Amino acid sequence: MTRIRFDHRPFSRATRALVAGLGLVLLSSCKLADVFDLSGNQSTMLTAGPVAKAQWDLFMVTVYVCTFIFIVVGAILAYAQVKFRARSESDEHAEPPPEAHGNPFVEIGLIAASVALLVIIAIPTLRDIWYTHDVPEDEKGNAMEVVATGNQWWFKFEYPSELVKLPNGGEAPLVTGNELVVPAGIPVRVQLRTIDVIHSFWIPKLAGKVDMMPNRANFLWFKADQPGYFYGQCAEFCGESHAIMRFRVIALSPRDYAQWLENQKAPARTVTPALLADAVDRSARVQFAAMKRNPGEALSASPAFDADPLNAWREMQHPEVGENAQLIATGRQLFAAKTCVSCHSIRGHEGIGISGPDLTRVGARSTIAAGVLENTHERMHAWIKDPNHFKPGNKMWFGGYNVKDGDNWKPNFTMNDQEIDALVAYLHSLK
Protein backbone atom coordinates (compact mmCIF):
# COMPACT_ATOMS: atom_id res chain seq x y z
CA MET A 1 0.00 0.00 0.00
CA THR A 2 1.29 3.46 -0.88
CA ARG A 3 2.14 5.70 1.99
CA ILE A 4 1.29 9.36 2.17
CA ARG A 5 4.76 10.75 2.02
CA PHE A 6 5.15 14.13 3.51
CA ASP A 7 6.78 15.62 6.53
CA HIS A 8 4.29 16.69 9.13
CA ARG A 9 5.66 19.92 10.51
CA PRO A 10 3.52 21.74 13.05
CA PHE A 11 3.69 25.49 13.38
CA SER A 12 6.60 26.76 15.37
CA ARG A 13 6.06 28.75 18.53
CA ALA A 14 7.18 31.89 16.68
CA THR A 15 4.48 31.44 14.05
CA ARG A 16 1.79 31.02 16.65
CA ALA A 17 2.97 34.14 18.46
CA LEU A 18 2.92 36.08 15.19
CA VAL A 19 -0.66 35.03 14.44
CA ALA A 20 -1.79 35.85 17.97
CA GLY A 21 -0.05 39.23 17.74
CA LEU A 22 -1.75 40.07 14.46
CA GLY A 23 -5.09 39.14 15.95
CA LEU A 24 -4.50 41.39 18.94
CA VAL A 25 -3.58 44.33 16.70
CA LEU A 26 -6.82 43.83 14.81
CA LEU A 27 -8.92 43.58 17.92
CA SER A 28 -7.37 46.46 19.78
CA SER A 29 -7.54 48.99 16.96
CA CYS A 30 -11.32 49.03 16.92
CA LYS A 31 -13.67 48.74 19.82
CA LEU A 32 -14.83 45.19 19.35
CA ALA A 33 -18.26 45.72 20.85
CA ASP A 34 -18.95 48.47 18.33
CA VAL A 35 -18.13 46.11 15.46
CA PHE A 36 -21.26 44.21 16.42
CA ASP A 37 -23.34 47.33 17.11
CA LEU A 38 -27.03 47.02 16.31
CA SER A 39 -28.23 50.33 17.70
CA GLY A 40 -27.62 52.62 14.73
CA ASN A 41 -30.04 55.03 13.13
CA GLN A 42 -31.04 52.35 10.62
CA SER A 43 -31.06 49.42 13.01
CA THR A 44 -33.46 46.66 12.01
CA MET A 45 -33.46 45.49 15.62
CA LEU A 46 -34.63 48.67 17.40
CA THR A 47 -37.98 48.60 15.69
CA ALA A 48 -40.51 51.41 16.05
CA GLY A 49 -43.57 49.94 14.38
CA PRO A 50 -45.50 46.68 13.91
CA VAL A 51 -44.23 45.87 10.40
CA ALA A 52 -40.55 46.13 11.30
CA LYS A 53 -41.25 44.29 14.55
CA ALA A 54 -42.90 41.37 12.73
CA GLN A 55 -39.92 41.21 10.39
CA TRP A 56 -37.39 41.25 13.24
CA ASP A 57 -39.32 38.66 15.27
CA LEU A 58 -39.44 36.36 12.25
CA PHE A 59 -35.74 36.92 11.72
CA MET A 60 -35.11 35.86 15.30
CA VAL A 61 -37.09 32.65 14.73
CA THR A 62 -34.71 31.85 11.85
CA VAL A 63 -31.75 32.78 14.06
CA TYR A 64 -32.87 30.38 16.81
CA VAL A 65 -33.49 27.50 14.40
CA CYS A 66 -30.26 28.06 12.47
CA THR A 67 -28.20 28.50 15.62
CA PHE A 68 -29.63 25.25 16.93
CA ILE A 69 -28.70 23.47 13.69
CA PHE A 70 -25.24 25.03 13.71
CA ILE A 71 -24.57 24.02 17.30
CA VAL A 72 -25.76 20.43 16.84
CA VAL A 73 -24.12 19.80 13.45
CA GLY A 74 -21.06 21.81 14.43
CA ALA A 75 -20.64 19.83 17.63
CA ILE A 76 -20.80 16.54 15.74
CA LEU A 77 -18.38 17.82 13.11
CA ALA A 78 -15.98 19.14 15.75
CA TYR A 79 -16.20 15.86 17.67
CA ALA A 80 -15.47 13.87 14.49
CA GLN A 81 -12.53 16.11 13.65
CA VAL A 82 -10.96 15.67 17.07
CA LYS A 83 -11.92 12.07 17.77
CA PHE A 84 -10.89 10.60 14.42
CA ARG A 85 -7.79 12.67 13.84
CA ALA A 86 -4.63 10.73 13.14
CA ARG A 87 -2.39 11.64 16.04
CA SER A 88 0.93 10.20 15.00
CA GLU A 89 2.92 9.06 12.02
CA SER A 90 1.97 5.46 12.73
CA ASP A 91 -1.70 6.47 13.02
CA GLU A 92 -1.54 8.04 9.59
CA HIS A 93 -0.06 4.94 8.07
CA ALA A 94 -2.17 2.42 9.91
CA GLU A 95 -4.44 0.14 7.93
CA PRO A 96 -7.34 2.18 6.51
CA PRO A 97 -10.65 1.92 8.35
CA PRO A 98 -13.38 -0.33 6.98
CA GLU A 99 -14.85 0.72 3.63
CA ALA A 100 -18.24 1.83 4.97
CA HIS A 101 -20.50 3.28 2.29
CA GLY A 102 -23.43 4.76 4.21
CA ASN A 103 -26.55 4.03 6.15
CA PRO A 104 -30.03 4.69 4.71
CA PHE A 105 -31.72 4.99 8.11
CA VAL A 106 -29.32 7.70 9.23
CA GLU A 107 -29.89 9.54 5.93
CA ILE A 108 -33.69 9.39 6.06
CA GLY A 109 -33.71 10.40 9.72
CA LEU A 110 -31.59 13.44 9.04
CA ILE A 111 -33.72 14.50 6.07
CA ALA A 112 -36.86 14.20 8.22
CA ALA A 113 -35.26 16.25 11.00
CA SER A 114 -34.22 18.96 8.50
CA VAL A 115 -37.73 19.18 7.08
CA ALA A 116 -39.21 19.44 10.59
CA LEU A 117 -36.90 22.31 11.48
CA LEU A 118 -37.75 24.13 8.25
CA VAL A 119 -41.47 23.84 9.03
CA ILE A 120 -40.80 25.84 12.22
CA ILE A 121 -39.56 28.67 9.99
CA ALA A 122 -42.16 28.19 7.27
CA ILE A 123 -45.25 28.74 9.44
CA PRO A 124 -44.46 32.25 10.75
CA THR A 125 -42.99 33.10 7.34
CA LEU A 126 -46.31 32.44 5.63
CA ARG A 127 -48.23 34.32 8.33
CA ASP A 128 -45.96 37.39 8.03
CA ILE A 129 -45.93 37.42 4.23
CA TRP A 130 -49.64 38.24 4.41
CA TYR A 131 -49.36 40.52 7.44
CA THR A 132 -46.55 42.73 6.11
CA HIS A 133 -47.96 42.88 2.59
CA ASP A 134 -50.74 45.44 3.15
CA VAL A 135 -52.57 47.34 5.88
CA PRO A 136 -54.72 44.86 7.85
CA GLU A 137 -58.41 44.94 6.93
CA ASP A 138 -59.59 46.28 10.29
CA GLU A 139 -57.19 49.23 10.08
CA LYS A 140 -57.79 50.12 6.44
CA GLY A 141 -60.42 52.76 7.24
CA ASN A 142 -57.95 54.49 9.50
CA ALA A 143 -54.98 54.40 7.13
CA MET A 144 -53.54 57.36 5.30
CA GLU A 145 -52.05 57.27 1.83
CA VAL A 146 -48.90 58.97 0.55
CA VAL A 147 -47.11 58.67 -2.76
CA ALA A 148 -43.33 58.36 -2.73
CA THR A 149 -41.53 58.86 -6.03
CA GLY A 150 -37.88 57.94 -6.53
CA ASN A 151 -35.71 60.24 -8.62
CA GLN A 152 -31.99 60.03 -9.30
CA TRP A 153 -31.12 60.75 -6.42
CA TRP A 154 -33.85 62.06 -4.12
CA PHE A 155 -37.38 61.23 -2.99
CA LYS A 156 -40.54 63.17 -3.69
CA PHE A 157 -43.48 62.76 -1.30
CA GLU A 158 -47.07 63.62 -2.19
CA TYR A 159 -50.18 63.66 -0.01
CA PRO A 160 -53.00 62.83 -2.45
CA SER A 161 -55.76 63.67 0.04
CA GLU A 162 -54.24 67.01 1.10
CA LEU A 163 -54.95 69.47 -1.67
CA VAL A 164 -53.29 72.89 -1.84
CA LYS A 165 -54.37 75.96 -3.77
CA LEU A 166 -52.14 76.79 -6.72
CA PRO A 167 -51.46 80.38 -7.84
CA ASN A 168 -53.52 79.75 -10.99
CA GLY A 169 -56.53 78.88 -8.89
CA GLY A 170 -56.26 75.12 -9.37
CA GLU A 171 -55.63 72.49 -6.76
CA ALA A 172 -52.92 69.87 -6.45
CA PRO A 173 -51.72 67.42 -3.81
CA LEU A 174 -49.27 68.73 -1.23
CA VAL A 175 -45.68 67.95 -2.24
CA THR A 176 -42.56 67.74 -0.12
CA GLY A 177 -39.10 66.34 -0.71
CA ASN A 178 -36.82 63.97 1.18
CA GLU A 179 -38.61 64.30 4.51
CA LEU A 180 -41.84 62.38 4.91
CA VAL A 181 -43.93 63.67 7.81
CA VAL A 182 -46.63 61.32 9.04
CA PRO A 183 -48.87 60.95 12.08
CA ALA A 184 -47.78 58.37 14.65
CA GLY A 185 -50.16 55.54 15.55
CA ILE A 186 -51.86 55.55 12.17
CA PRO A 187 -51.08 53.05 9.39
CA VAL A 188 -49.43 54.73 6.43
CA ARG A 189 -49.73 53.14 3.02
CA VAL A 190 -46.99 54.36 0.70
CA GLN A 191 -47.51 54.06 -3.02
CA LEU A 192 -44.11 53.60 -4.62
CA ARG A 193 -43.33 55.23 -7.95
CA THR A 194 -40.20 56.13 -9.87
CA ILE A 195 -39.61 58.50 -12.69
CA ASP A 196 -36.34 56.98 -13.88
CA VAL A 197 -34.59 53.79 -12.74
CA ILE A 198 -35.40 51.29 -9.99
CA HIS A 199 -35.08 52.60 -6.44
CA SER A 200 -36.00 50.90 -3.20
CA PHE A 201 -37.80 52.51 -0.28
CA TRP A 202 -36.43 51.47 3.09
CA ILE A 203 -37.01 52.80 6.61
CA PRO A 204 -35.32 50.03 8.63
CA LYS A 205 -36.90 50.91 11.99
CA LEU A 206 -40.40 51.09 10.51
CA ALA A 207 -40.54 48.62 7.60
CA GLY A 208 -38.42 46.51 5.31
CA LYS A 209 -37.88 47.69 1.77
CA VAL A 210 -40.06 47.49 -1.32
CA ASP A 211 -38.71 48.47 -4.72
CA MET A 212 -39.91 51.43 -6.76
CA MET A 213 -40.30 49.73 -10.12
CA PRO A 214 -41.04 51.58 -13.35
CA ASN A 215 -44.42 50.62 -14.79
CA ARG A 216 -45.45 48.82 -11.64
CA ALA A 217 -47.77 49.93 -8.85
CA ASN A 218 -45.86 48.77 -5.78
CA PHE A 219 -46.67 49.84 -2.26
CA LEU A 220 -45.75 49.17 1.35
CA TRP A 221 -47.20 50.04 4.71
CA PHE A 222 -45.85 50.97 8.10
CA LYS A 223 -47.00 52.44 11.35
CA ALA A 224 -44.88 54.42 13.79
CA ASP A 225 -45.89 53.48 17.34
CA GLN A 226 -44.60 56.74 18.80
CA PRO A 227 -43.56 60.15 17.44
CA GLY A 228 -39.97 59.98 16.28
CA TYR A 229 -37.31 60.83 13.74
CA PHE A 230 -36.33 57.95 11.47
CA TYR A 231 -33.60 57.39 8.89
CA GLY A 232 -34.31 55.88 5.49
CA GLN A 233 -32.28 55.17 2.41
CA CYS A 234 -32.55 53.94 -1.16
CA ALA A 235 -31.62 50.27 -1.16
CA GLU A 236 -31.38 49.43 -4.87
CA PHE A 237 -28.36 50.48 -6.89
CA CYS A 238 -29.61 53.39 -8.99
CA GLY A 239 -26.46 54.95 -10.44
CA GLU A 240 -23.51 57.05 -9.40
CA SER A 241 -24.94 58.70 -6.28
CA HIS A 242 -27.02 55.76 -5.02
CA ALA A 243 -25.12 55.80 -1.72
CA ILE A 244 -26.29 59.31 -0.93
CA MET A 245 -29.95 58.96 -1.82
CA ARG A 246 -31.33 59.16 1.69
CA PHE A 247 -34.46 60.45 3.36
CA ARG A 248 -36.10 60.89 6.74
CA VAL A 249 -39.47 59.99 8.17
CA ILE A 250 -40.78 62.22 10.93
CA ALA A 251 -43.70 60.82 12.89
CA LEU A 252 -45.73 63.37 14.88
CA SER A 253 -48.64 63.12 17.26
CA PRO A 254 -51.90 63.53 15.30
CA ARG A 255 -52.38 67.06 16.69
CA ASP A 256 -48.87 68.19 15.76
CA TYR A 257 -49.29 66.55 12.41
CA ALA A 258 -52.46 68.55 11.77
CA GLN A 259 -50.62 71.77 12.61
CA TRP A 260 -47.69 70.84 10.42
CA LEU A 261 -50.08 70.09 7.60
CA GLU A 262 -51.82 73.42 7.95
CA ASN A 263 -48.53 75.29 7.75
CA GLN A 264 -47.39 73.23 4.77
CA LYS A 265 -50.54 73.99 2.82
CA ALA A 266 -50.09 77.75 3.12
CA PRO A 267 -48.13 79.50 0.34
CA ALA A 268 -44.44 80.17 0.83
CA ARG A 269 -43.50 82.53 3.62
CA THR A 270 -42.49 85.99 2.38
CA VAL A 271 -40.15 87.92 4.62
CA THR A 272 -40.56 91.69 4.48
CA PRO A 273 -39.29 94.38 6.87
CA ALA A 274 -42.91 94.88 7.94
CA LEU A 275 -43.29 91.20 8.75
CA LEU A 276 -40.10 91.15 10.75
CA ALA A 277 -41.34 94.14 12.74
CA ASP A 278 -44.46 92.18 13.60
CA ALA A 279 -43.78 90.44 16.88
CA VAL A 280 -46.45 87.84 16.28
CA ASP A 281 -44.49 86.24 13.47
CA ARG A 282 -41.39 86.07 15.65
CA SER A 283 -43.03 83.30 17.58
CA ALA A 284 -43.19 79.81 16.25
CA ARG A 285 -45.70 79.26 13.47
CA VAL A 286 -46.16 75.69 14.56
CA GLN A 287 -46.79 75.03 18.23
CA PHE A 288 -45.73 71.60 19.25
CA ALA A 289 -46.96 69.89 22.31
CA ALA A 290 -44.32 68.41 24.54
CA MET A 291 -43.53 65.07 23.06
CA LYS A 292 -41.94 61.87 24.09
CA ARG A 293 -38.39 61.51 22.87
CA ASN A 294 -37.58 59.16 20.06
CA PRO A 295 -36.89 55.95 21.99
CA GLY A 296 -34.30 54.81 19.46
CA GLU A 297 -30.73 55.45 20.54
CA ALA A 298 -28.97 57.35 17.79
CA LEU A 299 -25.21 57.22 17.65
CA SER A 300 -24.11 60.57 16.38
CA ALA A 301 -21.28 62.38 14.76
CA SER A 302 -23.21 65.61 15.05
CA PRO A 303 -24.22 65.45 18.71
CA ALA A 304 -26.23 68.66 18.78
CA PHE A 305 -28.70 67.24 16.31
CA ASP A 306 -28.52 63.55 17.06
CA ALA A 307 -28.89 64.05 20.81
CA ASP A 308 -32.58 64.59 20.17
CA PRO A 309 -33.30 64.66 16.46
CA LEU A 310 -37.03 65.12 16.78
CA ASN A 311 -36.60 68.17 18.97
CA ALA A 312 -33.92 69.48 16.69
CA TRP A 313 -36.28 68.98 13.78
CA ARG A 314 -38.99 70.88 15.66
CA GLU A 315 -36.58 73.78 16.19
CA MET A 316 -36.14 73.89 12.43
CA GLN A 317 -39.85 74.74 12.04
CA HIS A 318 -39.40 78.16 13.68
CA PRO A 319 -38.28 81.19 11.68
CA GLU A 320 -34.67 82.00 12.41
CA VAL A 321 -33.62 84.83 14.66
CA GLY A 322 -31.99 87.79 12.92
CA GLU A 323 -33.49 87.40 9.48
CA ASN A 324 -32.45 90.13 7.00
CA ALA A 325 -35.36 91.05 4.76
CA GLN A 326 -33.18 92.75 2.15
CA LEU A 327 -30.76 89.82 1.88
CA ILE A 328 -33.72 87.47 1.61
CA ALA A 329 -35.25 89.58 -1.16
CA THR A 330 -31.93 89.50 -3.03
CA GLY A 331 -31.84 85.74 -2.62
CA ARG A 332 -35.34 85.47 -4.01
CA GLN A 333 -34.28 87.44 -7.11
CA LEU A 334 -31.23 85.23 -7.56
CA PHE A 335 -33.39 82.13 -7.26
CA ALA A 336 -35.25 83.31 -10.35
CA ALA A 337 -32.23 84.71 -12.19
CA LYS A 338 -29.92 81.71 -11.80
CA THR A 339 -32.48 79.37 -13.42
CA CYS A 340 -33.24 77.53 -10.14
CA VAL A 341 -36.91 78.10 -11.02
CA SER A 342 -36.80 75.80 -14.01
CA CYS A 343 -36.43 72.73 -11.79
CA HIS A 344 -37.70 73.78 -8.35
CA SER A 345 -41.08 75.09 -7.17
CA ILE A 346 -41.71 77.51 -4.34
CA ARG A 347 -45.46 77.62 -4.14
CA GLY A 348 -46.66 81.24 -3.86
CA HIS A 349 -43.28 82.56 -4.97
CA GLU A 350 -41.41 81.91 -8.21
CA GLY A 351 -40.68 78.55 -9.70
CA ILE A 352 -42.74 75.95 -11.49
CA GLY A 353 -40.11 73.27 -12.03
CA ILE A 354 -40.90 69.72 -10.99
CA SER A 355 -37.69 67.88 -11.83
CA GLY A 356 -36.09 68.93 -8.53
CA PRO A 357 -37.51 68.80 -4.98
CA ASP A 358 -40.27 71.24 -4.07
CA LEU A 359 -38.68 73.97 -1.92
CA THR A 360 -41.76 75.70 -0.53
CA ARG A 361 -40.72 74.79 3.06
CA VAL A 362 -37.07 73.86 2.50
CA GLY A 363 -35.94 75.97 5.48
CA ALA A 364 -37.97 73.76 7.81
CA ARG A 365 -36.30 70.53 6.74
CA SER A 366 -33.58 69.05 8.88
CA THR A 367 -31.49 67.90 5.92
CA ILE A 368 -30.78 68.90 2.35
CA ALA A 369 -29.48 67.08 -0.72
CA ALA A 370 -31.67 64.03 0.07
CA GLY A 371 -30.74 63.43 3.67
CA VAL A 372 -27.04 63.91 3.07
CA LEU A 373 -26.27 67.27 4.71
CA GLU A 374 -27.62 68.82 7.86
CA ASN A 375 -29.59 71.91 6.87
CA THR A 376 -27.31 74.58 8.35
CA HIS A 377 -26.27 77.82 6.68
CA GLU A 378 -22.71 76.59 6.18
CA ARG A 379 -23.71 73.27 4.64
CA MET A 380 -26.32 74.74 2.38
CA HIS A 381 -23.72 77.24 1.27
CA ALA A 382 -21.25 74.43 0.53
CA TRP A 383 -23.94 72.44 -1.26
CA ILE A 384 -24.98 75.35 -3.50
CA LYS A 385 -21.36 76.20 -4.17
CA ASP A 386 -20.34 72.75 -5.35
CA PRO A 387 -23.23 70.27 -5.52
CA ASN A 388 -21.21 67.81 -7.59
CA HIS A 389 -18.77 67.39 -4.72
CA PHE A 390 -21.51 66.10 -2.43
CA LYS A 391 -23.63 64.29 -4.99
CA PRO A 392 -21.61 63.30 -8.05
CA GLY A 393 -23.60 63.35 -11.27
CA ASN A 394 -26.59 65.26 -9.91
CA LYS A 395 -28.88 67.16 -12.25
CA MET A 396 -28.40 70.52 -10.52
CA TRP A 397 -24.77 70.40 -11.65
CA PHE A 398 -25.34 68.64 -14.98
CA GLY A 399 -28.16 70.59 -16.57
CA GLY A 400 -28.32 73.56 -14.19
CA TYR A 401 -24.85 74.93 -13.51
CA ASN A 402 -23.57 73.30 -16.69
CA VAL A 403 -25.44 72.71 -19.92
CA LYS A 404 -24.85 70.30 -22.74
CA ASP A 405 -22.94 71.62 -25.71
CA GLY A 406 -22.73 68.84 -28.25
CA ASP A 407 -21.01 66.00 -26.43
CA ASN A 408 -19.50 68.25 -23.77
CA TRP A 409 -20.70 70.21 -20.76
CA LYS A 410 -20.12 73.97 -20.62
CA PRO A 411 -20.69 76.29 -17.66
CA ASN A 412 -24.14 77.90 -17.65
CA PHE A 413 -23.68 80.23 -14.68
CA THR A 414 -21.54 80.71 -11.62
CA MET A 415 -22.25 82.28 -8.25
CA ASN A 416 -19.98 84.17 -5.88
CA ASP A 417 -20.06 83.75 -2.11
CA GLN A 418 -22.20 86.85 -1.53
CA GLU A 419 -24.81 85.61 -3.96
CA ILE A 420 -24.83 82.19 -2.35
CA ASP A 421 -25.23 83.80 1.10
CA ALA A 422 -28.29 85.68 -0.13
CA LEU A 423 -29.72 82.52 -1.66
CA VAL A 424 -29.14 80.59 1.57
CA ALA A 425 -30.82 83.34 3.59
CA TYR A 426 -33.82 83.18 1.28
CA LEU A 427 -34.08 79.39 1.34
CA HIS A 428 -33.74 79.31 5.12
CA SER A 429 -36.56 81.83 5.42
CA LEU A 430 -38.88 79.29 3.81
CA LYS A 431 -40.29 77.71 6.94
Partner 1 sequence: MAEVIAQSGFTGKQTARRATTFALFPRPTAKTGLVSWLTTVDHKKIGMLYGGFAILFFLIGGIEALMIRTQLMVPNNRFISAQLYSELFTMHGTTMIFLAVMPLNAAFFNLLIPIQVGARDVAFPRLNSFSLWVWVVGAILLNVGWISHFVPSWNFGGAPDVGWFGYAPLTSKSFTPDLSTDFWVLGIQVLGISSIVASLNFIVTIINLRAPGLTMMRLPVFTWMALVTSFLLVLALPAIAIALVMVMFDRNFGTNFFEVSGGGQPILWQHLFWVFGHPEVYILILPPMGYVSEILPTFARKPLFGYPIVVFSGIAIGFIGFGVWSHHMFTTGLGTVATAAFALATMAIAVPTGVKVFNWIGTLWGGRIVTRVPMMFALGFIWMFMMGGLSGIMHSAAPADAQQQDSYFVIAHFHYVLIGGATFALLAAIHFWFPKFFGRMVPEFWGKLSFWIIFVGFNATFFPMHFLGLNGMPRRTWTYDSNMGWNEGNLFATYGAYLLGLGMFTYFAVLVWSFFKGEKCGNDPWDARTLEWSIPSPPPEHNFAAIPTVHARDAWWYEKTHKEEIAQEKAAHIKAEESHGGIHMPDQSWYPLFAAIGLLVGAYNLAQLHYPVTMFGQQVLASHLPLAITGLGLMVAACYLWALEGPGGYHLHIDAEGKVTESRGDHH
Site residues (CB under 8 A) for partner 1, limited to 55-114: 55-56, 58-59, 61-63, 65-66, 69-70, 73-74, 76-77, 80-81, 84-86, 91-92, 94, 96-103, 106-107, 110-111, 114
Please state, in angstroms and rounded to a whole number, the distance separating the CA atoms of residues 383 and 389.
8
Closest Cα partner for 98 from 84, 88, 116? 84
Asked if 11 interacts with partner 1 (CB under 8 A), we say: yes
Asked if 417 interacts with partner 1 (CB under 8 A), we say: no
Q: How far is the CB of 242 from partner 1 (least distance, A)?
A: 6
Asked if 187 interacts with partner 1 (CB under 8 A), we say: no
Q: Pick the closer one to partner 1 by CB: 64 or 413.
A: 64
Q: Pick the closer one to partner 1 by CB: 40 or 173.
A: 40
Given the DSSP bridges, would you call strands 246-252 and 179-183 parallel, antiparallel or unpaired?
parallel
Closest Cα partner for 387 from 63, 154, 59, 53? 154
Q: Pick the closer one to partner 1 by CB: 153 or 288.
A: 153
Asked if 43 interacts with partner 1 (CB under 8 A), we say: yes
Contact window for partner 1 (CB under 8 A) among 51-59, 170-178, 247-255, 342-350? 51-59
Q: Pick the closer one to partner 1 by CB: 119 or 277.
A: 119
Please state, in angstroms and rounded to a whole number, the distance separating the CA atoms of residues 44 and 58.
12
Instruction: Return the residues of window 330-369 that contact partner 1 according to CB under 8 A.
Output: none
Instruction: Return the residues of window 235-254 that contact partner 1 according to CB under 8 A.
Output: 235-244
Binding mask 131-170 for partner 1 (x = CB under 8 A): xxx------------------x------------------
Asked if 2 interacts with partner 1 (CB under 8 A), we say: yes
Please state, in angstroms and rounded to a whole number, the distance separating the CA atoms of residues 259 and 49.
23
Asked if 116 interacts with partner 1 (CB under 8 A), we say: no
- Single residue of 21, 37, 405, 413 touching partner 1 by CB under 8 A: 37
Closest Cα partner for 356 from 237, 178, 205? 178
Please state, in angstroms and rounded to a whole number, the distance separating the CA atoms of residues 364 and 236.
28
CA distances from 111 to 77, 78, 114, 122 (A): 17, 21, 5, 16
Q: Pick the closer one to partner 1 by CB: 1 or 274.
A: 1
Half-sphere exposure of 413 (CA within 13 A, CB side): 15
Closest Cα partner for 192 from 173, 214, 176, 177? 214
Q: Pick the closer one to partner 1 by CB: 97 or 170.
A: 97
Please state, in angstroms and rounded to a whole number, the distance separating the CA atoms of residues 60 and 50.
15
Half-sphere exposure of 372 (CA within 13 A, CB side): 21
Contact window for partner 1 (CB under 8 A) among 52-60, 173-181, 272-280, 409-417? 52-60
Asked if 286 interacts with partner 1 (CB under 8 A), we say: no
